[in-house]
Amino acid sequence: MTATASTTTSVLTARALLLDMDGTLVNSDASVERCWRLWASEHGLDPEEVLKVVHGRQGYATMAVLLPDRPMEQNYADNRVMLAQETADTEGVVPIPGAPAFLSAIAELPHALVTSADVALSDARMTAAALPMPRTRVTAENVTASKPHPEGFLLGASTLGFAPEDCVVFEDSEAGIEAARAAGMRVVGVGPRARAMSPDAHVEDLTQLRVEALPTGEIALRFS
């Protein structure tokens, strides 16, 4: 099923929801861009080209794409520095429109946060955006591979106790949507970056979504 929320009304049903954080629940673009522009300048890279690939991946994975000949140990070291910088920089971090109401609507329904951030960064950004942290979350500490690898979403589904085909993922980035598809899950794309990936449904933000708990135990996602 494909839906563009601005022009059609459509429905997806699921038994569990898996939620990316940055770009999906939280607008952290200002912080991300400040930190990555600095890193790009320090390494003689074009910041605009760097910003095209940073979204969705863990930092070390982005660095490996941009500097493929560099030892991975250096990427991991730089990633630790980057995470500390991003955790300290919450200026301009705000909720995606509709995120507070969306999280309230699904509070008692099966859902999990699946983010490339670590625990400290996810705490900092959800707090800065004044959003409640889902009881179940998968962070960088819980996986061995970054998106677009499906490990995080598969772990989120199994932790909640659902099969991949029973889950719908909310994502904004190419890497995240590729990860969800590799996990065998349907995808709701959020925001402009997601549109080009032809997700199963697309919304400009979370105000274009209504959640309904069905008597069957399923979750209906209605787009308008």
Please write the tens of the pLDDT for every residue from 149-185.
999 999 999 999 999 999 999 999 999 999 999 999 9
Instruction: Map out the domains of the chain as residue ranges.
Output: 3-28+93-223, 29-88
Q: Is residue 150 within 8 Å of 179, Cβ to Cβ? A: yes
The pLDDT of residue 3: 41
Cβ–Cβ under 8 Å, residues 131 and 26: yes
The set of residues, in sequence order, having a beta carbon less than 8 Å from that of 206 and lying 6+ positions away, is: 25, 96, 97, 98, 99, 101, 102, 190
What is the model's pLDDT at position 56? 80
Question: If pLDDT is split at 50, 70 and 90, which confidence band does 5 have?
Answer: very low
pLDDT digits (tens, 9 = 90+) for 86-125: 999 999 999 999 999 999 999 999 999 999 999 999 999 9
pLDDT the model gives residue 52: 86
Of 213, 219, 199, nearest in space to 13 by CA: 219
Fold of 3-28+93-223: Rossmann fold (3.40.50)
Q: Which of 22, 78, 118, 172 is catalytic?
A: 22
Q: Is the pLDDT at 9 greater than 80, yes or no? A: no
Neighbours of 107 (CB within 10 A): 11
Residue 210: pLDDT over 70: yes
Please say if 22 is a catalytic residue: yes
Query: What integer pLDDT is reported at residue 224 of this predicted model?
Result: 82
pLDDT digit string, tens, across residues 24-80? 999 999 999 999 999 999 999 999 999 888 888 889 999 999 999 999 999 999 999
- 9, exposed or middle or buried, with CB in 10 Å at 0-12, 13-18, 19+? exposed
**Residues paired with 3 in a beta bridge:** 201
**Residue 88 has what pLDDT?**
96
